[in-house]
Amino acid sequence: MVVVGAGMAGVQTAVALRERGFQGTVTVIGAEPHQPYDRPPLSKAVLLGKAEGSAFEVDFEALGIELRLGREALGVRPDAHELDTEAGPVPYDVLVLATGAEPIRLPGTEGVPGVHLLRTLDDAERLRPVLARQHDIVVVGAGWIGAEFATAAREAGCAVTVVEAADRPLAGALPAEVAAPMTSWYADAGADLRTHARVVRVEPGEVVLDDGSRVPAGAVVVGIGARPATAWLAGSGIQLGAHGEVVADERLHTSAPDVYAVGDCASFPSGRYGERLMVHHWDNALQGPRTVAAAVLGETSAVYDPVPYFWSEQFGRFVQYAGHHKSADTTLWRGDPSGPAWSVCWLRENRLVALLAVGRPRDLAQGRRLIDAGTEMNPDLLADPARPLKAA
């Protein structure tokens, strides 16, 4: 077994194989030189220096998992069952692609000093002293990463301006009415959110916006999304989708024999939601590997059809989302969105398909189960935040 990518999905695949009794060799090849680590703490405790690192607590040696770190995979030749790496070809019986995603760069800022991304431990370590020096910071993008970085930068005492091209935060993830209450979170935390704004140029010490205004910027942090890290698969014949993701089937098998794909680099057909999903969240990199391990070991019932889940910690709030909604789904509120704790439910034919919980982890836990079960709900009872989330 050869796994490419030593992030959450790659490591969990190796661990899941051993947990299920796989006896063969397991080799994990990763481009980063560091001991494999978890990414969510990078925009939280690690950034603020509250945690030194976030290495996975996995005893690779005891599990018989060989790590080859600091080594990039350069290509796959499925017919030969060989992976090409910087250190030469590696033969495989079964290959798992788990190369994750890489952040999208702001055009024109490559190599410009003071412009940062936040994806890796190295990125977080470069940003830590920037926060400690309390620079003026411009965050580009009010998505999940932008909001978490802005939170940490305010906590560190930096002046923070967030520049967002859309009319609201999280425009790509949430409908306008749900994101609306989040706009005030920025101001409440002392961050200046500029919507309908784009950075046109980064100059020493400031950024120039498309309305001609100039914002002081000791550092710029770009959080405008991520795309699957799959450029290295060009020419392999392995099918990639519209976003460059590896197209996997319901067992996370790719178009090439004996090659699977899991985590941020892949998409899979969701039977539950009737569409192909590409999920860039931690829980997907935990659950998907269990399906891969089961499939590799020949368990034909292993089908990947999760209720996607993620969380975000921003501006002192714990935000959680489970499921997947579409604009046609009915939105139903539980609680007052101007308060500290509220939830939004999305219903399709009276069944819960998704739920966003702000400071209501119990709603999330109960809602996730109801989504999974496809239970029919009574919308009138659901809207009462004092009632536990449960079937009619």
Regarding 56 and contact with ligand FAD (CB under 6 A), the answer is no
Task: Specify the 3-state DSSP secondary structure of 370.
Answer: helix
Residue 116 or 194: which CB sits closer to ligand FAD? 116
Residue 245 or 363: which CB sits closer to ligand FAD? 245
Residue 4 or 247: which CB sits closer to ligand FAD? 4
Residue 85 or 161: which CB sits closer to ligand FAD? 85
Q: Tell me the number of residues near ligand FAD by CB under 6 A.
A: 37
Burial grade of 69 (CB within 10 A; 0-12, 13-18, 19 or more)? middle
Cβ at position 320, least distance to ligand FAD in Å: 9
**Region 222-241 residues binding ligand FAD, contact defined as CB under 6 A:** 229, 232
**Residues 198, 203, 205, CA angle at the centre, nearest 5°?**
105
Residue 148 or 215: which CB sits closer to ligand FAD? 148
Regarding 278 and contact with ligand FAD (CB under 6 A), the answer is no
Integer Cα distance of 170 and 191 in angstroms: 16
- The interface region with ligand FAD, picked from 56-64, 186-194, 260-268, 365-373 by CB under 6 A, is 260-268
Cβ at position 276, least distance to ligand FAD in Å: 17
Contact (CB, 8 A) for 140 and 220: yes
Structure tokens at 93: 């019986």
Among 116, 135, 280, 325, binds ligand FAD (CB under 6 A): 280
Q: Where are the alpha helices (DSSP H) in 175-265?
A: 176-188
Cβ at position 351, least distance to ligand FAD in Å: 24
Contact (CB, 8 A) for 358 and 347: no
Structure tokens at 110: 């490559």
**Residues 251, 254, 260, CA angle at the centre, nearest 5°?**
65
> What b/e string do you get for 15-32 counting C-beta neighbours within 10 Å, with b at 16 or more?
bbbbeeebeeebbbbbbb
Of 363, 358, 390, 367, whose CA–CA distance to 377 is shortest? 390
Residue 7 or 367: which CB sits closer to ligand FAD? 7
CA distances from residue 336 to 84, 178, 346, 381 in whole angstroms, order as listed: 55, 12, 16, 16
- The interface region with ligand FAD, picked from 93-101, 180-188, 270-278, 352-360 by CB under 6 A, is 93-101
**Region 20-49 residues binding ligand FAD, contact defined as CB under 6 A:** 29-32, 39-40, 42-43
**Region 97-126 residues binding ligand FAD, contact defined as CB under 6 A:** 98-101, 118-119
Among 1, 2, 3, 9, binds ligand FAD (CB under 6 A): 9
**DSSP summary character for residue 7:** S
**Region 334-353 residues binding ligand FAD, contact defined as CB under 6 A:** none
Handedness of CA 312, 317, 320, 326 (dihedral sign): negative
Residue 10 or 306: which CB sits closer to ligand FAD? 10
Residues interacting with ligand FAD, by CB under 6 A? 4-10, 29-32, 39-40, 42-43, 72-73, 98-101, 118-119, 145, 229, 232, 263-265, 280-283, 285, 310-312
